Each structure stands twice: as C-alpha cells, then as structure tokens.
Structure 1
Amino acid sequence: MNKQIKLEDINDNRPEVIVTSLFSPVLENTLPGTVIAFLNVHDRDSGKNGQVVCYIHDNLPFQLEKSIDNYYRLVTWKHLDRERTSMYNITVMASDLGTPPLSTETHISLHVADTNDNPPTFSQASYSAYIPENNPRGASIFSVTAHDPDSGKNAQVTYSLTEDTFMGAPLSSYVSINSDTGVLYAICSFDYEQIRDLQLLVTARDSGDTPLSSNVSLSLFILDQNDNTPEVLYPSLPNDGSTGVELAPRSAEPGYLVTKVVAVDRDSGQNAWLSYRLLKASEPGLFMVGLHTGEVRTARALLDRDMLKQSLVVVVQDHGQPPLSATVTLTVAVADSIPDVLAGLDDIKNPDNSEDSDLTLYLVVAVAIISCVFLAFVVVLLALRLWRWHKSHILQASGRGLVGLPASSFLGMEGVQAFLQTYSHEVSLTADSGKSHLIFPQPNYAHTLISHESCEKNGSLLTPIDFQEGKDEAASVQVSSVFVYQYIISQMHYFLYKSMCFETCIMQKV
C-alpha cells in the first residue's frame, strides 16, 4: 500500500525584486502621478511564505502602487526640484509574510533633469556706485553679478542696460556693460557741474529655450573734483575794458566799507568754500579785506598825502585740493568831495591818449620816406637821360650819327637847365597857419605821341591850389600832412610827363 508523504514548506527563500522599466532622468517639472519605474516582485516559497509586501521610505517624493499580480509601479506624488535634489537613491524593500519574515532591498538611482524654471537673481535689490568726475574714458566703474541656479544653458547669464535717454541722449552714450562679465564702463568723462547722478536699470537674462530675466537698479553718483576756479561776480569789468572805480571819502573813519568782492564757485563742498585776502595794494596798510565776507574796508584814517588813485588786488581762493584762485583789481578814488572825485576820474579811467600825436608821427615818417624814394628816382632817371644824350652826342661827333642834322638840333646843357627850370614848383605858406597856397603841375595827357613843338612850348604847367584848414590846430596839422602827400604824388606824375617829353625831343632831334 502506497503512502503519500507531504512536505511542509518553510520560509527559506527571500523575495526577489526586478526593475523591469526605469525612466531616468526625469524632468523636474514632471507632474505628480507620473510613472518612473515598473517592478516585478516574487517569492519562490508558498503560502504566506510566498506572499510579498513592497514599500519605500515615506520621506521621498515617490510612492509604490501595486498594479496586477506581482507587479508594482513607482510614481511621483510631489513636484521635483532639481535645484534641491538632482539625484535620488530609492530603496525598495520587499518582505514576505513568513515566519520569520524574509526581506530584500533593491536600490534604484534616479536622476532629475533640469528645466529653465529659475531666473537669474542679483545678490542685492539695488546697487550704488560713485565715480569721481573727469574720469578717463573707458574706465571700469562698477560690476554686477547675477546667479542662476539652473544648469547648462539655463544658467548662462548675459547682461544688458535697459534702453533709456538722459538729457536728450541715450544712456548707451554714457555707460556700457560687458554682456558676459557684467562690468560697467564709462563711455564719456563725467562733469559734476553738468551731471550729478545717473539712474540705470541692469537686466540679467539666461540662455534657456524660454529665457528668463530679472532687473536691478543701479544709481551712479558723480563725485565733485576741484576743477573750477572761483568766479568774481562783483565788481565786474565794464564792457569797454576799463577798471571800475570805487569811492572813498577822505573823511572816512577806520573800518569804513568801501566795497565788497562777491565770488562764487561752481564746485560743491569744501571745493566751493571761498576765502578772500589782499594780495597787493599801492598803499600797504590802508585797506583790509574780510577773510570770509570779501568786504573791503579802510584799515586806518585817510591822510592828505594818500594818493587819489588807490589800486588793490584781491585774491579769491577755494579750499579744494589743490586750491584754485582768481584775482580782481579794484581802483579806489580817494577824495573829500564829489567835484574832487570827478576831476580825478578822467586821469584814473582815461590815461594819456597819444593817438593824435602817433598819427601825426606816422604821417611825417611816411612823407619823409616818399620824399627820399622820389629824390632817388629823380637822380637815377636824370642820370639815365644824360647818359643817353651824351651817347648820342658822341655818335654825332664821330660821324656815326645821323647826317644832315645840325649840332644845334641836339639838346645841350642849356636844354637840361631849361628842363630843370621847367620842372619846378612853388610852395607858399602864409604867415597864418590856417591857410596854405600850393602850386601843382597840370600835365597834358591828351595825346599819346608828343611832338617836338610841345617840347619847346613854354606854357606854364603849374596851377595854383588853395587849401583852407580847420580851426582846430591838431586837425590843421593832419590836413597839411595829407596835402603834402598829395603834392608829392602830383610832382611824381609831372616828372614822369616831363621825362617822356624830354626823351621824345631827343629822339626827334636824333
């Protein structure tokens, strides 16, 4: 008789976990409930020893869901954040229900892929920068940095300035920024007196498929430098270039306010703090200047020996480093009464004017030069004519001249004397300096060719001309000088005419 032997199963096999599918990496913007892995679990034991339970730790954004039979799926149940956790090590624990229970651990590595979900961020909400004026062009003035927690292209940041205008010009004409490093450069040299500050908006943008950006404000403040000299507002120079005159009566007591120097400085701070001091005075110790007020006062009582005209040089200096200064010259008229002041103002404002005497001197020099040139011209021309006459005379005497002409036909020394006598003029000055009588030659230019008869004609070529001068003596001297000049010019014309006549006579006789 056959007996059946039944073997009782003992729990001697551990559960087995097989990852059939794994979707890694997973995007960080994956929605909750997305399947990332499939698992197959089985146990070779039987009964309760073969029943397996799978689970994972609760602190992970994943959970296991049983599918069918011995299959499980690993799904997300919260949003992933690559910037917080870029990779997960998931431990899947499988345990049977045997006694004692046996378990198995399976490890799954899951990478989280980055998405461009973070814009660049600056370390501060706003920035401030300070630049001294008169900076060199192209100088680096500031630097900004933005950080993007994404990875790859999503973390590549470029910088730019928001387009805007300032004082009618684009901001790009004042400041530029390196798009890769965020370093700002000055395009121009800033002037504190024209630009005190600039408000900029810097943009940081990543290189993701859908780029994200952020902005930050930058206040650029220009610092003043001592680059402006003090400007004196009072006393101002008159338009005619003369020096203004301040009045101080001789009866003034010590401390009498004569005038006040007013100056400004376009700089700011201590660069615009001004101080006044007396640099030079024609009468030392007579006047003093307030250090901070610029008031010019008498330091002592005025004396009779003090000159009517007092000259003061006041220097205005700022407190910059290095200090800059300007000077102003004051003219103070000292007199007891207004008539005395008015009598001396002409000497103060209008020094000796020698324009009339200079004009007369120039006219005299001009007349002398013209007379010398004219005399030299006459001598040379006369010598040339005499030489030509002498040459023709020698030719006639040697028989190589023209035959048939008597020797008396040539012009001899008597002709020269007659020519010199004809070339004459009269200058008659009356005893009264107010009248002058000049006789000018009147040449006849009616015909180009001059006949022999015209050369021998003894008609007068001089015509008297009277001039009535003005009553003023200075004007009379100037008019006389002009007439003398005109007289010399007319004599030169007359001499040229006589020379042509002389030459024509000789040629006709030859």
Structure 2
Amino acid sequence: MAGALRGWGCRELLLLLLLLGMQRGARAGQIRYSVQEELDKGSFVGNIAKDLGLEPQELAERGVRIISRGRTQLFALNPGSGSLVTAGRIDREELCAQSARCLVNFNILVENKMKIYGIEVEIIDINDNFPRFRDEEVKVKVSENAATGTRLVLPFARDADVGVNSLQSYQLSSNIHFSLDEKSGSDGQKYPELVLEQPLDREKAAVHDLLLTALDGGDPVLSSTTHIRVMVLDANDNAPQFTRSEYRVSVPENIAVGTRLLTLTATDPDEGINGKLTYSFRNEEDKISQTFQLDSNLGGISTVQSLDYEESRFYLMEVVAQDGGALLASATVLVTVQDVNDNVPEMILTSLASSVSEDCLPGTVIALFSVHDGDSGENGEIACSISGNLPFKLEKSVDNYYHLLTTRTLDREEISEYNITLTVIDRGNPPLSTENHISLKVADVNDNPPIFPHTSYSTYIPENNPRGISIFSVTANDPDSGNNAQVTYSLAKDTFQGMPLSSFISINSDTGVLYALSSFDYEQVRDLQLWVTASDNGDPPLSSNVSLSLFMLDQNDNTPEILYPTLPTDGSTGVELAPRSAELGYLVTKVVAVDRDSGQNAWLSYRLLKASEPGLFMVGLHTGEVRTARALLDRDALKQSLVVAVQDHGQPPLSATVTLTVAVADSIPDVLADLGNLEPSADPDDSSLTLYLVVAVAVVSCVFLAFVIILLALRLRRWHTSCLHQASGGGLAGVPTSHFVGVDGVQAFLQTYSHEVCLTADSGKSHLIFPQPNYADTLISQESCGKSEPLLISEKINVNEGLEVVQVSFLS
C-alpha cells in the first residue's frame, strides 16, 4: 500500500482524501457523489435508492423527488433503477470556472416521511479544453544593438481545465538567437519569456518569426500555438548604396519636356529615418539644373526643358543619396542625347546674278550657295536638286558649296524669266527639305530683226487725193526688248518718173504710217512699187524689208473726149452728107469718143440732145452711130443740125457734146445748088420764115465766130495736153488725126456719119439738150427736146419760134 502511494502525485492524493470525506459525510446525513463532466444525458451518478435505504420501486411510492433551488436541474431520478442520473451534458468550466473543486448541492425529499436528504455531487474535470493564447500573432520589438541576455515578455496562454488538465508548460520553436524561460505567478499561472542568446543584425534579419506552443497535462496532451514575430528595431549602422556606380541613359533630343529619363535606386538597410533617402545633385552646373530635375524622394530624373543634340550631345552629372543619419552615397549619371532629324537643311546664297545675257555660253555660273544641316549622320546628309526641266544644273564645289550653271544657250524671246526652285533635302526619316526660289531674268541681245507679219502689202489710193493724207500703215514686230525692240521705219531709196520716191511718199519713222506727199493722177500713175525698211535700235542694228504696192483708184475726173467728128481748124463747118434716097437706118455718121478714166468711169453712152427735125435721126446708145430714124422726104430741110451728148457712168457722171450738121442731098454739088437757090417766098408765111432765117443766120454767124475762137482755144489746150501725154508715155496716141477735104470752104469726110443735135429756141436763148435715157437713140419731137435738161447754152438769139438746122459735114 505504501508503494502504491509513492507513485501518486499530489493531485491524486487530494482527490482520494476528498472521496473519503464524502463517504464519511454520507454516513453523517449527507449523500455525496462524483461524476465526470461532459457525460451524456441519463448517465449514472449514484444508486440513490440504496443510499436512502429503499427499494427502487419505493421511490415513486414514497414520493421521492429532487428539490432545486432555482437553478437549472442538472440531475434526475430514474424510478425504474432507483439511480440518480444526469439530466443533460454538464460543463464543469461553465459551472465552476477555474475552481479546484466543483460541487453541485441539491436536496431530495421523501414525501411520505417528510424527510429531506442533502445531496452533493462533485463534477470531475476532464481534459476537454486546449490551452489558448489570446492572439494568433504577437509582435515583439527589440533593438538590433540589444545586449545578450535581454529578456522579452511573451504572451501567456490560458487553459479552462484544472489540475493536470490545465496548462503545464511552453515550448519555443528552434532558433539560434532566442531561448525560452518560464516564470510562475502567485496565482500559479506560468509566464513565458524570450531570452536573447546572440546579437541581432536588422540588416540581415529584420524580423524573426517564432512559434510558441502551450501544453496541458491531460491525456492526451492538448496544445495550442501563437506566432511570435520579433521585430528588430533599426540602428543607423549602414550607409546608403546605389545599385550601380554609373547610370547611362540615351534619349532622343525631341523627347517631351517633363519626361522621366531614368530613376536612380539607392538602398539603405536601415529603416525609419535612418533608411529614408534624399536625392540631390552634387556640384551641378547651371546648365544641368536648368535642363534636368531630380526627384529628391524617388530619385527620378526628368527634363524641364527640351534637349538639343546640336547644343549638347551628352550631360554628365553626379547624384547623391543621403539618409536621415547623414550617411550618403554618390553615383554618376551620363545622359546621351540621340540626334533626331529636327533641323531643316539650310541654304545660304553667297552670290547670285539677277540677270544673264541670252547669248551666254553653257556653263555660265548663275549662283553660288552653301548648304548646312545641324543634324548628324544620315539626318545631316544633304542632297540638292533643281525642280523642273530647266537649262540649269548644280555642280558641287569645295566643302558644302554648290554652283548653279547653265547647260545650254538661252533664248529670251522664248523664255524671258526663269523661276528656279532649289530643293535641299536630308536623308532623315522622315526627310526634311528646304526650298529656295531664284528669279533669273534673261537679258536681251539684239539677235532678232524686226519682222513684218506679211511678206508683202498692197493698198489702194483714190486719185486726186489730198496731199499729206495717210494712205497705209505697216507694223513690224521685234521679239527683242528695250532698244533692241524699238523699230524705226524708212523707205528704200528709189526714183519714180525721174524723181526721188521721197518726193511722192513719206513714212513716219516711229509709227510706220505712210503719207502721200502729192496728189496722184490715175491717168498718169496707175501703181507705185516701193520697199519699206524696218530697223531696230540694237548694236549693231538689224533690219528687214517688205514690199508695198500702191494701186491708184480711178475717179471720174475726166469728161469724155470726142475724137470724131473733130472741129475744123480753118474756120469752115464740117457737114455730113445724107442722100435723100436714104432709107430707115441709114448710117449717116458715127460719133467717136474716149474717156481717159477707167472702169465704169470710162463706160460711155451716146444720146441725141437736139435735132432740127425731131424724129429724123437716131443715135446708137453704145456705138455712137447716127442713123436715119425714117426715110428722108422732099419736104425735109436741106440742113439738119444735131447735138449729140457723150456721157460716162461715173458718180457723178460727166459728159461732152458735139454739134453735127447733116446736108440732105445726093451729092455736094446738089448741096451747093440748093443753098444758092434759096429765095424768099411770096407767101406771108415765107416772108416770116425769111425773117427768122436772117435772124438765125446772124445769130449763127456770131455763134460761129465764137465757136471758132473756142475751137482754137480747145485746139491749143488739146495740143498742150497731148504734149504732156507724149512726155509721160500716155495719152491717146492710137487715134488718127482727121483729114478733111475742103469744098468751097466746107470740109467733108469721105465717109459720112450723121449725128443728131436738137437746137431749140426758148425765151431768146438757144439750148443744146441731151434727151433722157428713154430717148437715147432717137430724138422724137421738139416737145421731148424741150423737156430735156439743157447742158450747153449758146449765144442769145432773137427768135420767138421756129427751128434752124445747121449741118456741118466732115469728110474723112
């Protein structure tokens, strides 16, 4: 027995003593039981019927029941077995918490005896609760320079069970820096502590993760864990360090302002203010601070103004990182600027000719210019070209200089000005180009003579033109310019009719207008050929000629000239002979006339103006033949006087008249006999007729005298005119001179032609009257003659009525 007791612990001995006490108490009047917690409902607690000295069936008979004191009934009576059983699951920790003993007291009433028995049931703990920490994770801080042996308080665990089922010990996960120690409090609670075994280095391990386990003494052993995170507090024992000692970055020069180029990274193993780094430039130049901006917190470098490769191709700067403890580190930053094709090629004209002579030789230098591109590489490689198909080319000289040359001779008359576009383009991507426009004028050279639009000209001038009138205008064009295109006109030196041409025609040297210096006569000058010269004012001058034909237009300025019959020169009167046996249509004579005009102005028509015997003779309208209009009668007068008018067709028409005397007889002797035998008649009518005849003879004598004087004057004028015509090669040389044969002072043609003339006496005046066109061939009556327009008026005669026929015969 003693050996068995030695193996028991204090807890087991305590439970044994309690059990013995309960048994003694029961015998003293109180019944005690014990039961484990967490038993199912109806579990056996004790044989209450036996302990009351009753049989099981007596419990119901005697009215045995449990009397509670206002608390939940934990137990119940089983009348069938007479046992005390659990009324439900019992949780000791809920009833008694952490009390060493958990006792439940209640009474049992035996109603028939009115006797009460005290019942005490001890709830025996079982290991049904795990040790529990309040937090699943606990953070513990310790300085990295803490001394070895430093103790850190850890959270403790609690276990709802008691006795051996309660918390018994702690365990710590394996590590080299910390160990676990336990301390017991006055309440018997055990408190764990960490003990620093080796120095800490936050930069190597800033956090140490440990696992603390709490164990109870139950069977089986229950446990729980908590995560202990040991935070090593920093001490400024590390200087900042950059990831690289030198940073290089290459960026294009057209990068946008504000773009971050790179971010410097410096590290400091310290933490807090000791690990907070500040970035700055060290000994930066003004150009660096004006171009770049450094983020003092993040270490990023960005641009604050645009970069220019042509201004600076790289930037070298030093950046410092400093922590809160004044420890620092430095790094070099090299920013290389990449060239971008952002510079347009430049063209600088060094020398430029504003004009060039059109006769310049190929290869003449027009301009000298240089090109430049601020970019580099392909972006700075330049090519020059000329747009269009122009007679120019580019030739490279030294360095970046180019010559602009002509490739062929120029022609100002074809193109007087060139607009040359010089294009300079680089080889960037995309390429940039520059255009320069050059205006080049071609200076004129006198290489073109004046040119007339036509090879020859012709014009017409009406004769009798006023002197100084403009007759024609010629114009020559010279494609040159300036003085080389100023044209001067002149007439080629020539003669006409033995006189200088300049005495007939002149020309305005500036306008080319020709003027007539004399009045031309178509009958003397039909046409005029001359040459007009157009000369420019170049050096030497160039000229060209053109022929000009001036044709005279005839005007009706010449009256018809009667060639036959001609007026006698010896004062006699020519007489045409008409035999009395002449029948109708007998050709008496023919009036021959010419007109020195031409064309319509020379078309002649013949008309009978007057006749002493109307209706006896007629005149051919176009032939001028005088024929009998009827057969001659014995009563017809011996002498017939005819007035024939010759008229042209000009506007206005001109005319001439001739008086014919026709003797009605078979022969000349008969004419003379008839004239001698004319005796006055005894008839009163005959005496009256005689008076008229005497008056008529007197008048005719006067008229004849005047006629002879006029005839002489006309002859002298005709002789003078013929002399002029012979001198000029013109005239009417082909007309033969009339020959007359005189018979008693009267001349006659060998062949007789008769011409009718109508002589009337009207108001004391004698008139020669042309008949109207309707009466061109035959003078019908005296009345018709009276209606005709008088064209020639003779001397006054004192004859009131009657008609005298004067006949003049011409013999050829």
Normalising TM by the smaller chain, what interval? 0.5 to 0.7
Shift of 1:37: 1.0
Q: Distance in 1 between matches of 2:346 and 2:667?
A: 129
Q: Distance in 2 between matches of 1:93 and 1:13?
A: 15
Aligned residue in 2 for 1:179 = 509
Aligned residue in 2 for 1:215 = 545
Q: Distance in 1 between matches of 2:668 and 2:338?
A: 146
Shift of 1:337: 4.2
1:31 aligns with 2:361: yes
- Check conservation: 2:378, 2:427, Cα contact below 8 A: yes
- Check conservation: 2:463, 2:555, Cα contact below 8 A: yes
Does the C-alpha gap of structure 1 residues 99 and 251 become closer, same or farther in structure 2, counting only changes over 3 Å? Answer: closer
Aligned residue in 1 for 2:583 = 253
**What's the TM-score, normalizing by structure 2?**
0.41
Aligned residue in 1 for 2:383 = 53
Shift of 1:73: 0.7
Shift of 1:29: 1.6
**Amino acid paired to 2:405:** V
Q: Distance in 1 between matches of 2:624 and 2:676?
A: 28
**Which aligned pairs between 1:32-181 and structure 2 lie closer than 5 A?**
32-181=362-511
Shift of 1:154: 1.4
Q: Which moved more, 1:167-176 or 1:2-11?
A: 2-11
Q: Distance in 2 between matches of 1:200 and 1:294?
A: 42
Larger radius of gyration: 2
Does the C-alpha gap of structure 1 residues 337 and 117 become closer, same or farther in structure 2, counting only changes over 3 Å? Answer: closer
TM-superposition CA deviations, 1:60-85 (whole Å, max 9, x none)? 22111112332211001122222333
Aligned residue in 2 for 1:269 = 599
From 619, 633, 651, the equivalent of 1:289 is: 619
From 10, 14, 26, the equivalent of 2:344 is: 14
Does the C-alpha gap of structure 1 residues 346 and 83 become closer, same or farther in structure 2, counting only changes over 3 Å? Answer: farther
- Does the residue aligned with 2:387 lie in a helix, a strand or coil? coil
Shift of 1:143: 1.4
Q: Distance in 1 between matches of 2:607 and 2:512?
A: 51
Aligned residue in 2 for 1:201 = 531
Q: Distance in 1 between matches of 2:614 and 2:427?
A: 121
TM-superposition CA deviations, 1:191-240 (whole Å, max 9, x none)? 01011111121111111121111222211111111111111111122221
Q: Distance in 1 between matches of 2:609 and 2:425?
A: 106
**Amino acid paired to 2:597:** D
- Does the residue aligned with 1:121 lie in a helix, a strand or coil? coil
**Amino acid paired to 2:359:** N
Does the C-alpha gap of structure 1 residues 68 and 286 become closer, same or farther in structure 2, counting only changes over 3 Å? Answer: same
TM-superposition CA deviations, 1:97-133 (whole Å, max 9, x none)? 2333332222222222222222222233322211111
1:298 aligns with 2:628: yes
Aligned residue in 1 for 2:666 = 336
Q: Relative contact order, CA 8 A, sep 6+: which one is greater?
A: 1
TM-superposition CA deviations, 1:225-262 (whole Å, max 9, x none)? 11111111111222213221211111111211111111
Name the one with the larger strand percent: 2
- Check conservation: 1:143, 1:184, Cα contact below 8 A: yes
Does the C-alpha gap of structure 1 residues 23 and 301 become closer, same or farther in structure 2, counting only changes over 3 Å? Answer: same
Q: Note the residue ranges of structure 1 that are not aligned, 5 or more in a row.
A: 355-510
1:233 aligns with 2:579: no
Q: How many percent of aligned residue pairs carry the same amino acid? A: 77
**What's the TM-score, normalizing by structure 1?**
0.64
Q: Distance in 2 between matches of 1:107 and 1:254?
A: 102
Aligned residue in 2 for 1:393 = none
TM-superposition CA deviations, 1:307-328 (whole Å, max 9, x none)? 2222211111111111111111
**Amino acid paired to 2:372:** H
Does the C-alpha gap of structure 1 residues 347 and 208 become closer, same or farther in structure 2, counting only changes over 3 Å? Answer: farther
Shift of 1:137: 1.0
- Check conservation: 1:228, 1:267, Cα contact below 8 A: yes
Q: Distance in 2 between matches of 1:155 and 1:319?
A: 51
From 298, 312, 316, the equivalent of 2:642 is: 312
TM-superposition CA deviations, 1:134-174 (whole Å, max 9, x none)? 11111111112222232221121111111111222221111
Does the C-alpha gap of structure 1 residues 53 and 188 become closer, same or farther in structure 2, counting only changes over 3 Å? Answer: same
- Check conservation: 2:577, 2:667, Cα contact below 8 A: no
- Check conservation: 2:559, 2:656, Cα contact below 8 A: yes
Q: Which moved more, 1:94-103 or 1:319-328?
A: 94-103
Does the C-alpha gap of structure 1 residues 38 and 143 become closer, same or farther in structure 2, counting only changes over 3 Å? Answer: same
Q: Distance in 2 between matches of 1:289 and 1:100?
A: 108
Shift of 1:11: 3.3
After superposition, the CA RMSD in angstroms is: 2.5
| Count of residue pairs brought into register by the alignment | 351
Q: Distance in 1 between matches of 2:429 and 2:583?
A: 127
- Check conservation: 1:253, 1:301, Cα contact below 8 A: yes
Name the one with the larger helix percent: 1
Q: Distance in 2 between matches of 1:346 and 1:320?
A: 47
Aligned residue in 2 for 1:360 = none
Q: Distance in 1 between matches of 2:404 and 2:389?
A: 14
Q: Which moved more, 1:86-95 or 1:176-185?
A: 86-95
Does the C-alpha gap of structure 1 residues 147 and 347 become closer, same or farther in structure 2, counting only changes over 3 Å? Answer: farther
Q: Distance in 2 between matches of 1:347 and 1:228?
A: 45
**Which aligned pairs between 1:375-414 and structure 2 lie closer than 5 A?**
none
- Check conservation: 1:243, 1:330, Cα contact below 8 A: no
